[in-house]
Amino acid sequence: MNQPNKSEQFDVESLRRKVSEIRTGDGKQVEANAPELNPLARQIAEQFRNDSTSPTMLIGQFRLFELAALLAISLLVGALMAPIEAGDFLARFALIASGVTFTVLLLQLADTYQIPSLRSASRTARRVLIAWTIGFAATAAVLYLAEPRPYSLSALTVWFFTGAVFLFLERRLTAFAIRNWARNGVMERRAVIVGGGEPAKRLVRELEQQPDNDIRICGIFDDRGSERSPTVVAGYPKLGTFAELVEFARLARIDMLIIALPASAEQRILQLLRKLWVLPVDIRLAAHANRLRFRPRSYSHVGAVPMFDIFDKPIRDWDSVAKRIFDIAFSLVAITLLWPVMLAAAIAVKANSKGPVLFRQKRHGFNNEVIEVLKFRSMYTNMSDQSAIKAVTKSDPRVTPVGRFLRKSSIDELPQLFNVLRGELSLVGPRPHAVSAQTGTRKYVDVVESYFARHRVKPGVTGWAQINGLRGELDSDEKIRARTAYDLDYIENWSLLFDLKILFLTPVRLLNTDNAY
């Protein structure tokens, strides 16, 4: 295939940069006045409200299950047929665990932990048996050299055949389960086709021809009228316009948006991405109709259908599991250490003014969902502002004397640790703003076009913007732009170490109370 000339090349990185430049730009967010979904689109969105099981998560769980099961089989056979002194058990455990881990690594290298492989156990049976044989032989050899009393031939035979039979039966049951889950929609990646007409039709046909396709097409969205874009494309209904797609993706648990437009239509693609990149989904550009050669890192595949990777969903799959474990662990530690402070704050709030100890406020959470965030009440009850339209200012008469101290020290935020345990917040992330919060007479979304991109991850009790001095009142366009820029920088560069850094810097930075009223 000939190398494409300069005019034919499609620069994915350039497109990403152009969209990312929106972060600090002005302009009306398209989503702010998004139209209502039509009844059909709303009905279909409701069908996909529940989360599906990510194939990546399923593979990871299956790998861990096989490791644990093979380890248990190996230890059990050893305990029954080759017993050792109690003091030598830890050494045997370490050796067998290393051998089983090596076996699972061999199974991974043999490509037996892919959905197509797991769907068809008979097709991979030989590779599984070879990997198990090599892993078993290596483990048995190490045990023979390391332990003073070697395993008998009968013990080794039972161990080998027990492991082999387990892998044979377990993988056939798994293949049956995966096929069943695929039919029932439990395990799938839900996708929406963006763009209609003949390109969308060709894309749908290509996807349907893939033998191990895990994509569930939920519908098609296109701005063009029925004369250029039919209301039904390859059996799938056109559910609305691009503006309506944002609301649809909020309601349904969509995993991927696939843009069915030619790569040469860069300006139209860019206009689409300006609307869609705020969503917590993978965004792909179908490349099946482009007869050009690209670097392998530029695209991925659904079966044999190539896709340009424009944007990836942040903090996904096992990263989200790790972050959730991090949140729960550190929240429990924080509550254990700070409960006397929280109890004293609750007593002070109750003694200082009439009303409830806790203040509940509706704020934007992950994927723009509305959540109820907890705080210690810092205002007089009759002056409380649930909407937060009027931000708290210096010497604000609505704030109680105790509340002023709580706000300056950020102790009023401590009840949000329970929001973290409930899964509504993360310990670290973009701070959640009240649903109706605004600067001056304008809502934040009217100031920063990319404002809702902050909601691609869970909001946090503390965040990168707060560490950099952006606390308190957002009384100017520059402040909300700066906070949004820091929030998006956090999302793009997230890691557990980054979370840990922000978490441990938080108490130090709270000493600066200049902007906390």
Q: What is the pLDDT of residues 412-466, one digit of tens each?
A: 999 999 999 999 999 999 998 888 777 766 777 777 777 888 889 999 999 999 8
* Top-confidence range, 95-104, 250-259, 269-278, 367-376: 95-104
Residue labelled with tokens 């030989």: 126
CA angle at residue 248 from 244 to 252, to 5 degrees? 175
pLDDT bracket for residue 13 (50, 70, 90): low
Report whether 373 contacts 352 (CB < 8 A).
no
Q: Could you give the CA distance from residue 323 to residue 432 in angstroms, rounded to a whole number? A: 18
Query: In which residue ranges of the chain is CATH 3.40.50.20 found?
Result: 6-52+188-313
Start-end of H helices in 227-265 = 242-251
pLDDT at 5: 45
Report whether 188 contacts 52 (CB < 8 A).
yes
pLDDT bracket for residue 120 (50, 70, 90): confident
pLDDT bracket for residue 223 (50, 70, 90): confident
Report whether 263 contacts 287 (CB < 8 A).
yes
Residues 6+ apart with CB under 8 A from 485: 23, 24
Q: Could you give the CA distance from residue 16 to residue 462 in angstroms, rounded to a whole number? A: 28
Give the max Cα distance, the chain: 85
Structure tokens at 184: 């029932």
Q: What is the dihedral of CA 222, 226, 232, 238, to 10 degrees?
A: 30
pLDDT at 26: 45
Q: Nearest to residue 410, comparing CAs of 328, 350, 467, 336? A: 467
* Top-confidence range, 88-92, 174-178, 427-431, 449-453: 427-431
Q: Could you give the CA distance from residue 457 to residue 464 in angstroms, rounded to a whole number? A: 13
Q: Residue 24 above 50 pLDDT?
A: no
First to last CA, the chain: 65
pLDDT bracket for residue 386 (50, 70, 90): low
Report whether 279 contacts 246 (CB < 8 A).
yes
Q: Residue 168 above 90 pLDDT?
A: yes
Question: Do β-strands 282-286 and 305-311 pair in parallel, antiparallel, or remain unpaired?
Answer: antiparallel
Q: Could you give the CA distance from residue 440 to residue 486 in angstroms, rounded to a whole number? A: 21
Q: Could you give the CA distance from residue 309 to residue 78 in angstroms, rounded to a whole number? A: 49
Start-end of H helices in 48-152 = 55-81, 89-109, 115-119, 121-146
pTM: 0.78
Q: Could you give the CA distance from residue 381 to residue 399 in angstroms, rounded to a whole number? A: 10
Q: Could you give the CA distance from residue 217 to residue 225 in angstroms, rounded to a whole number? A: 21
Q: Nearest to residue 229, comparing CAs of 277, 257, 194, 269? A: 194
pLDDT bracket for residue 31 (50, 70, 90): very low
Residue type, 219: G
Report whether 186 contacts 159 (CB < 8 A).
no
6-52+188-313: which CATH architecture?
Answer: 3-Layer(aba) Sandwich (3.40)
Q: What is the dihedral of CA 16, 19, 25, 29, to 10 degrees?
A: -150
pLDDT bracket for residue 501 (50, 70, 90): very high
Average pLDDT across the chain, whole number = 82
| Residue of higher predicted confidence among 286 and 340 | 340
* Top-confidence range, 2-6, 100-104, 223-227: 100-104
Burial class of residue 144, CB neighbours in 10 A (0-12, 13-18, 19+): exposed
pLDDT at 355: 87
